[in-house]
């Protein structure tokens, strides 16, 4: 609990921590940190978002950022700052990002409960 002090009044106000709309698995966080460590200068965090485009209407985007934007929500996951713009928050609510390595290849995999359909190539979705 945080204590708020106003002259003559002291109250205890519970700290409210907002849950992130998107969750990164430990393997995804580790891979992002590994890649970030190879960048010069080292970025401040990772931006995850949804952009219009693709054959189904929307695509995911991930990129490094040096600072949060004015309309961003910032979340921390195991020491990694994750920036999500206000519009993407509603499309990513409940989404989980994992980093997977298989015989076919390696990459980040999005599991989003809001998706109604995906395209044949799997790179875009609709809600």
Structure tokens at 3: 């204590």
**Residue 47 in domain:** yes
Q: How far apart are CA 37 and CA 123, in angstroms?
A: 27
User: Using CA of residue 21, residue 25, residue 27, residue 33, what is the dihedral sign?
Assistant: positive
Whole-prediction pTM: 0.76
Q: Which range marks the domain in which residue 62 is found?
A: 18-116
**Residue 13 in domain:** no
Q: What DSSP line would sit under 14-41, residue for residue?
A: ----PPPSEEE-HHHHHHHHHHHHTSSS
**Residue 122 in domain:** no
The CATH number for 106's domain is 2.60.300.12
**Residue 87 in domain:** yes
Number of domains in the chain: 1
**Residue 111 in domain:** yes
**Residue 126 in domain:** no
**Residue 10 in domain:** no
Q: How far apart are CA 78 and CA 55, in angstroms?
A: 34
Own/partner contacts of 108-111, CB < 8 Å, gap of 24 or more, are: 108/28, 108/31, 108/62, 110/60
Comparing 69 with 14, the larger pLDDT belongs to: 69
Structure tokens at 50: 């949804």
pLDDT at residue 90 is higher than 60? yes
**Residue 43 in domain:** yes
Q: What are the angstrom distances between the C-alpha of 43 and each of 74, 84, 125? A: 14, 15, 28
pLDDT digits (tens, 9 = 90+) for 28-76: 999 999 999 999 999 999 999 988 876 767 888 999 999 998 999 999 9
């Amino acid at each position: 609990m945080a204590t708020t002090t106003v002259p003559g009044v002291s109250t205890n106000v519970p700290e409210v921590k907002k849950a992130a709309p998107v969750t990164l698995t430990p393997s995804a966080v580790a891979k992002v940190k590994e890649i970030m460590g190879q960048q010069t200068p080292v970025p401040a965090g990772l931006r995850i978002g949804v952009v219009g485009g693709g054959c189904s209407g929307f695509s995911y985007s991930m990129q490094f950022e040096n600072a949060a934007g004015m309309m961003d929500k910032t979340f921390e996951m195991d020491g990694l700052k994750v920036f999500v713009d206000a519009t993407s928050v509603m499309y990513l609510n409940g989404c989980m990002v994992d980093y997977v390595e298989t015989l076919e290849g390696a990459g980040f995999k999005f599991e989003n409960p809001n998706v109604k359909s995906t395209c044949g190539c799997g790179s875009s979705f609709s809600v």
